Amino acid sequence: MLAAAAGLDAQSLQVRAEPGRIRVSPSKSQFLVGMALEHLQNGATVVFAVQLALLTGSRGAVLGRAAGRFAVSYDIWEEKYAVTRLASAGKSVSHLSSAAAESWCLDSLILADAGLSPDSTFWIRLEVRAEEPDEAPASNEESGVTLARLVEMFSRTQSSGDARRRAEAGPFRLRDLR
pLDDT tens digits, 35-80:
999 999 999 999 999 999 999 988 789 999 999 999 999 999 999 9
The tens digit of pLDDT for each residue in 120-136 reads 899 999 999 999 865 55
Residue 145's pLDDT is 53
Look up the pTM and report it.
0.77
Give the per-residue pLDDT at 6: 40
CA 32/CA 142 separation, integer angstroms: 25
**124 near 169, Cβ under 8 Å?**
yes
CA distance linking residue 59 with residue 171, whole number of Å? 11
Q: Give the start-to-end residue ranges of the domains of the chain.
A: 2-177
CA distance 105 to 25: 9
